[in-house]
Amino acid sequence: MVLQSPAFNLKKENIFQEVMRRAGQREDVISLAVGDHPGPIDRVVLDELIEEALSSHKGYPPEEGTVLLKEWINQVFYQGQFSTEEIFISDGIKTDLFRLQTFFGPKVRSAYFAPGYPTYKEGCQIIGGEVTPIYLDPAADFIPKCKEIPSFDLFYLCSPNNPTAVALDVTQYKELFASQQLIIHDACYSPYIQTPGKPKTIFFTQQARARAIELGSFSKWAAFSGIRLSWAVIPKELTFSDGTSILRKYKSFLNATYNGVSWLSQRLGVAFLKRPELLDFEIKNTMRKTAKIRQIFEEGGFEVFGGVDCPYLVVRSDLDFLENFGILTLPLDAFDTHYQGFSRVSGFVGEKVLENITSRLQNCFKKL
């Protein structure tokens, strides 16, 4: 067999594996590199697992997800505006991104804001497609100039964005609707948005129904990154240019290639959504820790971006934080080589890490 797949051109390690390997060589390292929820999963949520295992758990789950979970997602995030047929339960946004890239195929002309989540680019490369980076400018606080973006068949939009933490406002969304054929909205961090008036879903307007697919995930605010649970909303109004329904075609594609998410994960999702106080607590608690980390860097004299609508900060500095402070961060040039001299700092930390980081950084910054 000849090595001919574009997948062979990928780097050996992804950016997260690369930084973790660096950290592994030092014992005193505190990591602010990875955007992973420190957990744990709430006990009351876990208790429902047993009930699920003893009651409805039976054989394969429905490929498209249980109606119960779809109904909860519809109520909690979309005020019931979708039918359950338009919501697909999945095992992660990362998987869904690649699934959609495979579904739409290599011929679509696509784009994304850079620096951005690596799968937008790498997934396209693997299927042999092309994707154009639209570079965000640090001098403009990484805020995209949506009006100036040329038209693409498909645009990957992440709001609030990883790594820059910028969330779009209503005007910026509308500018994208005007130029883009189809937007895949990665809403991984949307519940964290704090700025009044900034939409937490692309479906804040009916206009989006003929323009967008939204991907949501339980990973970042329910500590489900190890459980794997997410969803995709594909409105009925979406069509290919010949009028064919995207939803219909996607259903056939999904059913041919997927056997669904475990009953147990889906039941955990329902148990979490039933208790709005859990989501509220997670958002407030994580943003409190992010604000504290932001304050420490600012008091240390660093230029800091983000940290308001999403638990990520971008810190401008040429210092090697690992070398100088024993703090692991994610260099932005790992996302895209255009961005030298910036690091992504994550606010997804436990209380102990926050305590350690506070004393270590304050001490180190005093000596600078």
Q: Say how far apart CA 96 and CA 88 lie, in whole Å.
A: 10
Residue 260 interacts with ligand PLP (CB under 6 A)? no
Please choose, out of 7-15, 68-76, 89-97, 125-133, the segment that lies near ligand PLP by the rule CB under 6 A. 89-97
Residue placing its CB nearer to ligand PLP in the complex, 92 or 269: 92
Count of residues interacting with ligand PLP (CB under 6 A):
13
Residue 165 C-beta: closest distance to ligand PLP, Å: 11
Q: Say how far apart CA 261 and CA 367 lie, in whole Å.
A: 51
Q: Say how far apart CA 251 and CA 249 lie, in whole Å.
A: 5
Q: Hey, which residues between 228 and 247 contact ligand PLP (CB under 6 A)?
A: 230
Residue placing its CB nearer to ligand PLP in the complex, 35 or 144: 35
Mask 112-151, x = binds ligand PLP (CB under 6 A)?
A: -----x----------------------------------
Specify whether the backbone of 306 is left (phi greater than 0), alpha (psi in -120 to 50) or beta: left
Residues whose CB is less than 8 angstroms from the CB of residue 48 and which lie 6 or more positions away in sequence, other chains included: 267, 268, 270, 271
Q: At what angle do helices 93-104 and 118-126 cross, to 10 degrees?
A: 40
Among positions 93, 183, 354, 357, the unique one binding ligand PLP when judged by CB under 6 A: 93
Residue 69 C-beta: closest distance to ligand PLP, Å: 15
Residue 266 interacts with ligand PLP (CB under 6 A)? no
In this structure, the dihedral spanned by the alpha carbons of residues 52, 56, 58 and 63, taken in order and rounded to 10 degrees, is -90
Residue 361 interacts with ligand PLP (CB under 6 A)? no
Q: How many CB atoms lie within 10 A of CB 120?
A: 24
Residue 225 interacts with ligand PLP (CB under 6 A)? yes
- Which residue's beta carbon is nearest to the bound ligand PLP? 92
Residue 290 interacts with ligand PLP (CB under 6 A)? no
CB 37 within 8 A of CB 225: yes
Residue 92 interacts with ligand PLP (CB under 6 A)? yes
From 279, 292, 250, select the one nearest 191 (Cα to Cα): 279
Binding site residues, ligand PLP, CB under 6 A: 35, 92-94, 117, 158, 162, 186, 188, 217, 219, 225, 230
